[in-house]
Amino acid sequence: MEEYLNKLNESQREAVEYNEGPSLVIAGAGSGKTRVLTYKIAYLVHLGLAPQSILALTFTNKAAREMKERIAAITGDQTARRLWMGTFHSIFSRILRYEAEHIGYPSNFTIYDTTDSKSLLKAIIKEMQLDDKVYRLGMVQSRISNAKNALVTWKAYEQSKELMQHDIDSKVPLLREIYKRYQNRCQQAGAMDFDDLLLQTNILFRDHPQVLEKYRSFFQFVLVDEYQDTNFAQHLIVQRLCEQHRRICVVGDDAQSIYSFRGANIDNILQFKNQYPGCRIFKLERNYRSTQNIVNAANSLIHKNKEQIHKNVYSEKEEGSKVRISASYSDYEEGYAVASAINELRLRKDYDYADFAILYRTNAQSRILEEALRKRGIPYKIYGGLSFYQRKEIKDIISYLRLIVNPHDEEAFKRVINYPSRGIGDTTVNKVISAATENNVSLWTVLNAPIDYALPINSGTAKKLTDFREMIERFIEQNTRLSAEEMAAIVVKESGIVSSLFQDRSVEGISKQENLQELLKGIAEFCELRREEGVEQVSLADFLSEVSLLTDQDNDKDEQANKVTMMTVHAAKGLEFKNVFVVGLEEELFPSSMSKDNPRAVEEERRLFYVAITRAEENCVLTYAKSRFRNGQSAMCSPSRFLKDIDVRFLDVPADSSADTFAAARERFQRPAFTSPFQQPRVVEKEEPSFISPVAQALQRQRLTKVETATSIPASSSAPASDLSGLRVGAKVRHDRFGEGEVIAIEGDGGNAKATVAFTHFGQKQLLLKFARLTII
Ligand code: ATP
Ligand code: MG
C-alpha cells in the first residue's frame, strides 16, 4: 500500500488517509479528485473494510468502470468486483429490485427510457384532448422530471397552491392531471422512469425505516464523485445513508457545475460543511493533467464568473503550447481545419488518433465534422446521438423481451401488439387502452379477460388478441427454463420478426437485418461472458436490467479502438485527452442562445467552457466559424464572448481573419455546389468487421461493475473455449476482451479449473477455464 500512497502528493495523501469523519475535497479540474477517491477506496479495503460495504457513486457508467479497473490493479479483481460502484441510477435500481414489494412495484419492474416516457405522455395528452402546441411534449416531460427530482410526487403537486398557480400562469393548468395519469399508468405497467429510480428510493427510505436502517449499516462508507452535479433527490439519498455514521467523502468542483438544467444544485457542495459540522475540507491545488498555458488560460476564463469559490490552481508541467484560436469562414471549413490540424499534430509528434478529442456544444454539430474526418481518412468514434438500442428494429425486439419479463409493461405492449402486423389495428388497441384506464389495470390484464372488461370487439379480433396473448404466455413459460440468448432466438423467429425483416431487400432493410443479427450476437456474448464468471443461467431479466441503464457515454462501439473521440462537452466531464479541439465558439451557440439574457445561465455556459478546456493535457485548440448552417439557412456568426475572457498571454490568436490567407482558404475550402447539408449525400459506411457490439460492451461493463461475484459454477462438461492444456503459472495469455496478461495461479481441475490472470490493463481476474477465451502466446 505504501508504494501506492507514494503516488500521491501530500495533500492528496492526507485526504486519502483521513477517515475519522466526513470529508470534502473541493478542487479545480485535473487536480486529482477522482484519483483521491480511487486511492481512498483501495486504502479503506487495505484497512480492513469489506469491499461490499463500500458505496461509490459516479456520474457515468464509464467513470465507474475506469475507477474499478484502477482499483482492481491495486487490490486485485476479486476485491474490486465486490464494491458497490456505479451511477446513482444503476446502484439504486438494483436496491429497488430487492425492495420493490415495499413500495408497490414488482421486482421485475421495467425501466422506461426517455422515448418510452415521451410516448406515454403523448398518448395521455391525446387522450385528454389537449392542444399539443400548448402542452408541448418536451416541456411537459421536463416539468414532470423537475418535480420528481425535487421529490414532489403527483399528490404533493396537486396540493401545492404555488405549483398550481404557476401552471395557471403558464397556461398549462392541467399539467398536474397529466402528471397524475402518467404516474398511475407507470405504476399499472410496473414501470419506473429514470427519475423514479431516485424518487422511489427516497420514498422507500422515507417510509420504511427498517429498510433504511439495513442499508445504513450495510454501507459503511459512502463516496461520491462530481458532487457539484448532484440534484436534490440524489443529495437526500446520500444524506439519509450517512447522517448517522457520517462516514462520507465527497469530491467536486463548483467551477464545473454544468447540469443545473437537469436540477443539479451547486448548493449541495457549498452547504456540505454546514450539513456535516466538523467535516474536514481538503483543497488540492496542483493540476497534474495539463500544461501551464492550458491551466492558466482556463483559470483566467473562470475568474470572470462572479459566483465561485476562489481556487489557486497551478501546473508544474512544462509551459507547453499556447491555447490556439482558429477562425474559419464556415462550419464546413472548420471541419477541414480540425481534420488538417489533427494530421499535422500527428506528423509532428507521433500522436495516436485516440489522443484527440473534438468537443462540441450540441450534437447537431457533429455531422459536418464527421464528414471532414471521413474524407481525410481519420478514424473516429462518436458518443451520444441515437444509441444502438434506440433504433426502431432493436427497440421492437427489446420490447418483446421486456414484455416477457414484465407483461404489464404498457409501452412494450403497444410496440409489439401489432408488430409484425397481425391485423390488430389502432382502434382495437385504443379500446384495450380505454378499458385498462377506466378500470385502473394494465393492458395485459384486459387482454387476459376481454369479456370481464367488456371489450367491444368482434370474434375475429378476439381470436387475434387471444393468439397474441397465447404466444406471449408461451414465451413467458419458456423463459423460466431457457437462457437469454435462447429466448431471444425463439422470440425473433416465432413472433414473425425474422420473416418480416428478411423480406425487405432495400438498403435500409438489410441494415436492419444486420442490426438484428448484431443484437443476437451481443446477447450471446453477454451470456458467454457471464458464464465465464460462473453464472449458470443468464436470464433475460439480467440482460435487460443491464441495457436499460446505458447512457450516452455507453453507446460507443469501440472504446479501446485507436480513434478520435467526438462528444459534447457535457459528456466529456471527468475525462482527459492529450489534444482537445473545442469547436463552434460562437455567440448563440456557445454560449447557447437559450442563455443569452440570463447572467446565471451565461455563468453556467462559462463553466461548461472551463470543463472543455481543462480536458486537454498538451494542446488545446478553440475554433469558430464566421458563418454556420443552422435552422435551414446559412447565418453569419460572431466569435464567442468567452474567447475574450481568456488572458491573451496564454493564447495564440490568428492574424486578422479578414486577411488574404482567409480568402485563399475560402477558395480551397469552398462549399461544393450543394450548399444545404440536407442535400448533401450522406455516406453510409458499413460497420467495420472489428465492430464490438454494444451488448458486448455492456457485458464487459457488467463484469467490471457487478456488485457480487457469482459463486455457482456450472457443472457442465462443455469443451474448453480453446486448447489450454499447456497452461501453467507464468504463461503469457491473451483474452478476447481483456488483452494480454500473465497467469499467476491455477486451481481446481476438469470442468472446475480456474486460472487467475493478471491483465496488463484490467488487473487480476479469475476465469473459469472451460469458458474463458484465452490463448497462450
Ligand atoms: P476533473 O475535475 O476533471 O474530474 P480530477 O480532479 O478528478 O479532474 P483526476 O482525473 O483525478 O483529476 O487527475 C487528473 C490527472 O492527473 C489524471 O491523469 C491523474 O492520474 C493525474 N494525477 C493526479 N494526481 C497525481 C499525482 N499525485 N501524481 C501523478 N499524476 C497524478
Ligand atoms: Mg474527476
The predicted-structure confidence for 158-202, as pLDDT tens digits, reads as follows 999 999 999 999 999 999 999 999 999 999 999 999 999 999 999
Cα 652 from chain centre: 35
Task: Give CA–CA dist 434/609, Å, rounded.
Answer: 49
Q: Residue 594's beta-bridge partner residues?
A: none
Retrieve residue 769's grid coordinates.
477455464
> Which pLDDT score, from 0 to 100, does residue 660 have?
39
Catalytic residue among 62, 82, 361, 615: 615
DSSP single-letter state for residue 588: B
Catalytic residue among 193, 225, 556, 559: 225
Q: Which residue from 65, 93, 35, 54 is spatially nearest to 762, judged by alpha carbons?
A: 65
Whether this model's ipTM surpasses 0.90 comes out as yes
DSSP single-letter state for residue 228: G
> Which pLDDT score, from 0 to 100, does residue 596 have?
75
Whole-number Å distance, alpha carbon 12 to ligand 2 midpoint, is: 13
How does pLDDT run across 452-477, given as a tens digit for each residue?
999 999 999 999 999 999 999 999 99
Whole-number Å distance, alpha carbon 35 to ligand 1 midpoint, is: 6
Per-residue pLDDT for 658 more than 60?
no
pTM: 0.81
- 315 Cβ below 6 A of ligand 1: no
Greatest mean pLDDT among 65-69, 235-239, 519-523 lies in: 235-239
- 29 Cβ below 6 A of ligand 1: yes
Residues 6+ apart with CB under 8 A from 485: 520, 523, 524, 526, 527, 538
Annotated active-site residue 126? The verdict is no
- 252 Cβ below 6 A of ligand 1: no
Per-residue pLDDT for 449 more than 50?
yes
CA distances to 157, 306, 333, 715, 725 from 643, rounded to whole Å, are: 43, 17, 19, 64, 63
Task: Give CA–CA dist 201/648, Å, rounded.
Answer: 49
Q: Which residue from 468, 440, 463, 466 is spatially nearest to 453, judged by alpha carbons?
A: 440
> Which pLDDT score, from 0 to 100, does residue 296 have?
97
The ligand whose atoms approach the alpha carbon of 29 most closely is 1
Task: Give CA–CA dist 505/690, Å, rounded.
Answer: 25
Catalytic residue among 12, 34, 291, 428: 34
The ligand whose atoms approach the alpha carbon of 7 most closely is 1
Task: Give CA–CA dist 342/376, Å, rounded.
Answer: 10
Ion ligand 2 residue ranges (Cβ < 5 Å): 33-34, 574
> Which pLDDT score, from 0 to 100, does residue 63 have?
87
Torsion of CA 688, 694, 699, 701, to 10 degrees: 100
Per-residue pLDDT for 389 more than 70?
yes
Task: Give CA–CA dist 318/301, Å, rounded.
Answer: 20
Catalytic residue among 196, 226, 485, 604: 226
Q: Which residue from 126, 130, 667 is spatially nearest to 430, judged by alpha carbons?
A: 126
Per the CB < 8 A criterion, the answer to whether 705 and 80 are in contact is no
> Which pLDDT score, from 0 to 100, does residue 699 have?
37
- 257 Cβ below 6 A of ligand 1: no
Task: Give CA–CA dist 612/323, Å, rounded.
Answer: 12
Annotated active-site residue 615? The verdict is yes
Q: Residue 369's beta-bridge partner residues?
A: none
Nearest atom of ligand 1 to the alpha carbon of 288: 16
Per-residue pLDDT for 755 more than 80?
yes
Nearest atom of ligand 1 to the alpha carbon of 28: 2
Local confidence band at 551 (pLDDT 50, 70, 90 cut-offs): low
Lowest-pLDDT range, 256-260, 397-401, 723-727? Answer: 723-727
The ligand whose atoms approach the alpha carbon of 33 most closely is 1
The ligand whose atoms approach the alpha carbon of 39 most closely is 1
Total residue length of the chain: 777
Per-residue pLDDT for 553 more than 80?
no
Annotated active-site residue 33? The verdict is yes
Burial 41-68 (b: 16+ CB within 10 A, else e): bbbbbbeebebbbbbbbbbbbbbbbbbb
- 8 Cβ below 6 A of ligand 1: yes
- 58 Cβ below 6 A of ligand 1: no
- Return the best residue to mutate from 289, 313, 617 for the ligand 1 pocket (most ligand atoms within 8 A of CB): 289
Query: Residue 388: is it exposed, middle or buried by C-beta count within 10 angstroms (0-12/13-18/19+)?
Result: buried
Whole-number Å distance, alpha carbon 226 to ligand 2 midpoint, is: 7
Lowest-pLDDT range, 398-412, 549-563, 564-578? Answer: 549-563
Query: Which residue's CA is the nearest one to ligand 1's atom 15?
Result: 289
Catalytic residue among 12, 33, 176, 402: 33
Q: Which residues are annotated as a binding site for ATP?
A: 27-34
- 693 Cβ below 6 A of ligand 1: no
Whole-number Å distance, alpha carbon 74 to ligand 1 midpoint, is: 17
Q: Which residue from 302, 257, 324 is spatially nearest to 573, judged by alpha carbons?
A: 257
- 607 Cβ below 6 A of ligand 1: no
Annotated active-site residue 617? The verdict is no
Task: Give CA–CA dist 35/595, Å, rounded.
Answer: 33
Task: Give CA–CA dist 331/383, Å, rounded.
Answer: 20
